[in-house]
Amino acid sequence: MKTFLLDEVEIKIYKSSLARKITISIRPHRGVRITIPKYASYFEAERFARHKREWIAANLKKVNEFVNQSERNPTSGFVTKKHQLILEETTITGVKVRVQQGTILVKYNSELTQDSKEVRAAVNKGILIALKKEGAEYLPARLSELAKEFGLSYCNVAIKNMKSRWGSCSGRNNINLTIHLMRLPDHLIDYVLLHELAHTIVKNHSKKYWELLEKICVGSKKMDKELKSHKIMSL
């Protein structure tokens, strides 16, 4: 790896045996990265960066604003619990999205912009893939843990892309949970899971129900109010 400064911005250059062309990306907390084929020179990479000077400045500003927003409110923006969004301008045709190793990588042709319909659609698709993956890995296991902890039982659990409810419990004690729970703080995820587990005992929202919920989730009314401040984003 080699680094150099461009307008006081550190640019990191990496050589890759898999690279077939020069690409540039900006990652939250990781800065600007240029990847070049093994046979390319660092001079070519620096020249490429200078050619992309305006693009780097504009997109670095966007990434920094995004990071600042996400740090103020971890459930906003386009960062899930385990995945970061990376937008990469390339020479490919159209737009491609890939979710792996903790990243949502969206590659788009340089003739498009990050605000274009095609790029926004790819970003939304990537976020949904990441949320489904995280939800499938975390929610059933956490629900099982809480059920065992409080001596409650349920029949089946399904993780879905529900857009109007955080969760539900059927008359047969089948629990449905939305993948969008993965954008909530951990304590609110637990609250929703316990909320549905309490419905395996009491099917309505009567005084008896809230008394039961408070026993297994202290401060439930406060959390319920906090949950109402969060909205399920339509993706």
pLDDT in tens, the chain (235 residues): 888 888 888 888 998 888 888 888 886 656 788 898 988 899 998 999 899 888 888 888 777 665 555 443 333 344 688 888 888 888 888 899 999 888 899 999 988 888 788 888 898 899 999 999 999 999 999 999 999 999 999 999 999 999 889 999 999 999 999 999 998 889 999 999 999 999 999 999 999 999 999 999 999 999 999 998 888 876 6
**Bridge partner list, 13:** 2, 34
| Residue (of 187, 189, 194, 193) closest to 215 by Cα position | 194
152, amino acid identity: L
pLDDT at 204: 95
Q: Which domains does the chain have, with CATH numbers?
A: 1-69 (no CATH), 138-227 (3.30.2010.10)
**Bridge partner list, 85:** 104
pLDDT at 169: 97
The side-by-side arrangement of strands in the sheet containing 103-109 is: 2-6, 9-16, 31-37, 23-27, 84-90, 103-109, 95-100
pLDDT at 76: 35
Which residues contact residue 204 at a Cβ distance below 8 angstroms, ignoring those fewer than 6 apart?
Answer: none
pLDDT at 185: 87
pLDDT at 70: 46
This prediction's pTM = 0.65
Cβ(22)–Cβ(2) under 8 Å? no
Which residues contact residue 7 at a Cβ distance below 8 angstroms, ignoring those fewer than 6 apart?
Answer: 53, 57
At residue 127, the 3 state secondary structure works out as: helix
Task: Please provide the DSSP assignment of 193-225 as one string.
Answer: HHHHHHTTT--S-SHHHHHHHHHHSTTHHHHHH
